Chain A
Amino acid sequence: MAPRDPNKLLRYLRWMDYRDRMQRRRFLKMMAMAGAATIGGKTLAACETDDADDAPAATDDTADDTATDDAPADDAADDTADDPDVDDEMTNVEGYEADGRYEGRTIVVTDFGGAMRDIWREIAYDPFSQLTGVEIVEDTSDSALLRSQVESENVEWSMSQQGGSTGILLGQQGMLEPLDYDVIQRDGLVEGIDDEHALGCLFWSTVIAYNTETFPDDPPGGWEDFWDLDNVPGARGLYDWPVPNLEFALIAAGVPMDDLYPLDVDLAFEKLDEIRDEILVWWEEGAQPPQLLADGELDICTAWNGRITDAAEAGQPIAIQWNEGSMTFDTFTVPRGAPEPEIAMDLINFMSRPEVQARMAERIPYGPIHEGAFDHLDDDIMANLPSSPELMEMQHERDIDFWLEHEDEILERWQDWLLV
C-alpha cells in the first residue's frame, strides 16, 4: 500500500501527517463545540431553574414557590388561601408567629420521601416557610451521603431525618452537630428520645401482620403463635436483619418483654433454629410484606406498622397484631458543618410541637414524640399509633445502645446462620 521509493514515501507520509492534523483539528474543534454546548446548556438550565425558583422535589405549585425572595411573608399568606395543599392550622402553632425572621434564606432538609414527604411538606415545611420566610428545599435522606458530605466538608443539608440507631451512630462518629436544646424545647417530649446529636421524630413499630382471610376469627396472638408451626398454620415471612427478630425469638421462648435486654443471643438463635426452614420469605424492603400478604403468598409476616395500616385502609385483607410488637423511633439530625444550623434547630423544634406531631399522626399512623399531641387526637386515630399509651403497653422498646454495641458480631452470626 505504501510507496517503495523513499521520496514518494516521505511525500506520502507528509500527506498522511497533514491529513491527521486536519482530522485532529476537526476533532478538537468538535470537542470544543461539544464542551461549549454542554456548558452553555448547563448555564441555560441553571438560569431557567433560577427563574422558576423551583425546589427539586416540589412537584406542584406549593408554597415553596410563593414564598420566594421577592414575595414577603404577608404576600405568601394571601397565596395560601387558594392553595388547598397547605395546612392552614399549622400556621397557628404555639410559640410561632408570622414574623418572617428568616426572610431571604434557604435551607435544604431531607426525609425518607414518598407519602411521608408530602405530609411533612403540608404540615411542617410549608407552614414553617410561611411563618419564618425561609425557603425549604427537599431532598432524600441517605446516611452514606450525609457522611460523605461531612467528610468532604461540603455539607448541603441543614436538617436530615435518619433512622434511630443510624442517627445516634452518626453522632457517635462525629458526623453531627450537637442539638441545641435551648431552641428545641424538651418539655413534654416522650422520655429517652433526646440523644445529644439526634432527637426522635416519630415512633414506628415492627409488628405481626396477618391475612384476615386466613385468620378470620382467631388471629395469631403473639410470637408464641408465630413459632407454633403445628397449631397456627400458614406461610411465614421475617425481615432479613437480626433486629428485631432476636427480640421476637426471646419473647417466643418465654422471656418477659421487660427483661429482654441485654439480649440472650445464644438462646435467641437456638429459638430461631426451630422455624428457620419454615420461613418462606426473608423480606428486605418495607413494601414487600403488605404485598406478600395481600397476594396470599404469605399468611403471617413481620411488617412495619404504617405500611400495613395503609394497605388495610386501601381495602386489602390485612391486619396488625400489636401485641408484643417492637417499637422504635426515627430521628432528626443536623450534619456537622451544616449551613444555617440555627434555622435547622428551629425547624426541628417546630416539627416536634404537639400540634404538628398530632397532625402528622392523623395523616400517617406513626406515633407522636410529644405527649401533648395525644390531646389533639381522636380514639380511632390513637388505635393505630405505636406510641399511644394503650398500644405502648402491649409492646416493648428497642434498646438502641445494645444494638450499637453488638450489631456487628450479631449481624455476622445472623448472616452465617442464614447460609448454613
Chain B
Amino acid sequence: MASIARERDPGSSHYQPDPRLQRLHRRQLLSHLGLLALAVTLLAVLFVYPISRIIYTSFLIDGSFSLDHYRRIIEVDAYIRVLRTTLTIGFQVTLICLLLGYPLAYFLASVPTRWQRILIILVLVPFWTSFLVRTYAWMVLLQRRGVVNDWLMSLGLTSEPVQMMYNRMGVLVGMVHVMLPFMVLPLFAVMIGIDRNLIRAAQNLGASPFQAFRRVFLPLSLPGIAAGSILVFILSIGFYITPALMGGRQDTMIAQLIEAQVRDRLNWEFATAIATFLLIVTVIIVAVYNRILGTERVFGEDR
C-alpha cells in the first residue's frame, strides 16, 4: 500500500498526501503487524527461546558460568576433526546432489505439465519409505556379498568384491539418496519460471545451444542452485544415522558426538556447547556462501 502512495510522489511535486490517506496507511500497517503477530509469537516461543536456552546452557558448569566447554572443544583434537569430517561430507553430498539434481530438474521443467506431475511424484517417492528401511536397503545392495557385487562379479568386471560400504562411498550413496529431492524441488521451482523464449532469443542472436545455456539459463537458475545447495548442506551436517550405519571409522559426524553426550554421558551442558559451536560454524559458512552466490535473490529481493 505504501508503495502506491510513494509511486505518486516523484512525478507530481505539488501532491500532498491527504491526512485521511495517512490514517488509512497507519491502519493498514497496524493490521499487517497484527497478522504477523501470530508468526512472530510462534517463532519466539518455538525457535528463539529454545535456541537462547541452548546457547545459555552451553556456558554452564554445575550452574555457574564458564567457558570450559568451548575450551574443551577447541583443545581436544577429536571435536575439530569430527567437525571437519562433518563439513567435508556436507560439501560432498551437496556437490553430488547438484550434479545429479540439476539435469533432472532441467528435464522435469522441460516435459509437458501432465508428465511433470507424475515425475515429481517419482522424485518424492523416497520420502514415503522409512529412513531406516532405505538405509538397510542400501546395505543389502552394497555389501561385500550384496546384489551389486554379485552382478559385478558375474559379469566378470571384478574378481574380488568391491568395498562399497563401511567407507565414505557408503555414506555418500545413502545420504545423496535421501537428500536429492531437497535439491531437485527448489531447482525445479526456479527453472519452471524461466521464460524459454529467452533461450530461443539468444540462439536467434547467434548463440550456440551451450552458450545460450551458460549465459542465459544457468544465471537465471542460480537462485535455485543457491536454495537447493543451502538446504541440502544444512540438512546434511545434522545427519547421523546413515554415517553411523554405512560409514567407516573415519566417517563420524558431529551429531553422533552430540547424541553420545545427551544420552550416554548425560552431559547436556557440553552437548549444547558442541551444538552451539556447530551452529556458529554453519552461520559463518552460510554467510560466506551468501556473499559469493548472492542467495538473497532466492528471497526475491533485487530482481
Tell me, yes or no, whether B58 is within 8 Å of chain A by CB: no
B145 touches A296 (CB 8 A): yes
| CB nearest to A151 among chain B residues | B268
B249 touches A276 (CB 8 A): yes
Question: Max chain B CB contacts within 10 Å: which of A24, A170, A285, A416?
Answer: A416
A364 CA to B229 CA, complexed, in Å: 48
Given contacts A144-B266, A170-B266, contact A24 B35 (CB under 8 A): yes
- Size class of the A contact interface (CB-based, 8 Å): 35 or more
Tell me, yes or no, whether B260 is within 8 Å of chain A by CB: yes
B266 touches A169 (CB 8 A): yes
A279 touches B249 (CB 8 A): yes
- Return chain B residues, CB-CB under 8 Å to A288: 245
Main SS of chain B's interface residues? Answer: helix
- Return chain B residues, CB-CB under 8 Å to A285: 244-245
A13 touches B1 (CB 8 A): yes
| CB nearest to B259 among chain A residues | A144
B265 touches A17 (CB 8 A): no
Surface stretch bound by B, among A2-10, A222-230, A301-309, A313-321: A2-10
Tell me, yes or no, whether B166 is within 8 Å of chain A by CB: yes
- Return chain A residues, CB-CB under 8 Å to B252: 415, 418-419
A418 CA to B166 CA, complexed, in Å: 13
Query: What per-residue 1/0 map shows which CB atoms of B51-92 lie under 8 Å from chain A?
Result: 000000000000000000000000011110110010000000
Kindly identify, within residues 214 to 260 of chain B, every residue whose CB is under 8 Å from any CB belonging to chain A: 244-245, 248-250, 252, 257, 260
Tell me, yes or no, whether B302 is within 8 Å of chain A by CB: no
B265 touches A411 (CB 8 A): yes
A198 CA to B200 CA, complexed, in Å: 75
Given contacts A6-B15, A144-B266, A295-B145, contact A284 B31 (CB under 8 A): no
B266 touches A166 (CB 8 A): yes
- Return chain A residues, CB-CB under 8 Å to B145: 295-297
- Size class of the B contact interface (CB-based, 8 Å): 35 or more
Kindly identify, within residues 248 to 303 of chain B, every residue whose CB is under 8 Å from any CB belonging to chain A: 248-250, 252, 257, 260, 262-268
A281 touches B166 (CB 8 A): yes
- Return chain A residues, CB-CB under 8 Å to B133: none
- Return chain A residues, CB-CB under 8 Å to B245: 284-285, 288
A411 CA to B72 CA, complexed, in Å: 13
Q: From residue B42, how far is it (CB to closest CB) to chain A in Å?
A: 13
B18 touches A10 (CB 8 A): yes
A419 touches B143 (CB 8 A): no
Surface stretch bound by A, among B21-29, B99-107, B110-118, B120-128: B21-29
B78 touches A412 (CB 8 A): yes
Given contacts A173-B266, A416-B78, A419-B250, contact A284 B244 (CB under 8 A): yes
- Return chain A residues, CB-CB under 8 Å to B144: 235, 296-297
Kindly identify, within residues 3 to 43 of chain A, every residue whose CB is under 8 Å from any CB belonging to chain B: 4, 6, 9-10, 13-14, 16-17, 20-21, 24, 27
| CB nearest to A414 among chain B residues | B78
A280 touches B143 (CB 8 A): no
A27 CA to B39 CA, complexed, in Å: 14
Tell me, yes or no, whether B160 is within 8 Å of chain A by CB: no
Q: 19 interchain pairs (CB within 8 A)?
A: A2-B4, A4-B8, A6-B15, A17-B24, A20-B28, A20-B31, A27-B35, A143-B263, A280-B166, A296-B144, A297-B143, A412-B78, A412-B79, A413-B78, A415-B78, A415-B82, A419-B78, A419-B82, A419-B250
Inter-chain pairs besides A2-B8, A17-B27, A296-B145, 15 sampled, C-beta below 8 Å: A2-B4, A9-B21, A10-B20, A13-B4, A17-B24, A24-B35, A27-B35, A143-B263, A144-B268, A147-B266, A166-B264, A295-B143, A408-B267, A411-B265, A415-B257
The 7 closest A-B pairs by CB, nearest first: A415-B78, A416-B78, A418-B249, A284-B244, A2-B4, A419-B81, A412-B78
